Amino acid sequence: MRFPPRATRIGAAAALLSALLVGGTVTATPAAAAVGSICYSDLPSQAYTTLNLIAQGGPYPYSQDGGVFQNRERILPSRSTGYYHEYTVKTPGSSTRGARRIVTGQAHEEDYYTADHYASFDLVDHDC
């Protein structure tokens, strides 16, 4: 199941307003702060190559591609082990895998892009 980033932000704003009105406290969850959205058309060109390889089932350029993503950072929604898988998005000029990845969930078009090695994620909006 995908949660639109806008709904998450509205929920966070409502919690803040409620806390201010009744004198409570506010705690932010990492997912609310770090999962945004990105239009498919705004992805770097190398991400299209990665998404096409995922759709085809490979072959992938790196042995780690297709491996289980553990979500240790707890930024993505909590799911059972094996729900998420990660794939490299090549970085031009980098001699290593670089920091860019696509992490897929099991839901249809549940693709997350990170350009900063899991510090933040954007859910790919395939409709724009």
Beta bridge partners of 121: 35
Active site residue 108: no
Residues 73, 85, 86, 108: which is the catalytic one?
Answer: 86
Active site residue 73: no
Query: Which CA distances in Å does 121 have to 88, 103, 108, 128?
Result: 14, 9, 17, 17
Residues 73, 108, 110, 117: which is the catalytic one?
Answer: 117
Beta bridge partners of 85: 68, 104
Dist. CA 12–CA 84, nearest whole Å: 25
Dist. CA 115–CA 47, nearest whole Å: 10
Instruction: Return the active site residues.
Output: 86, 117
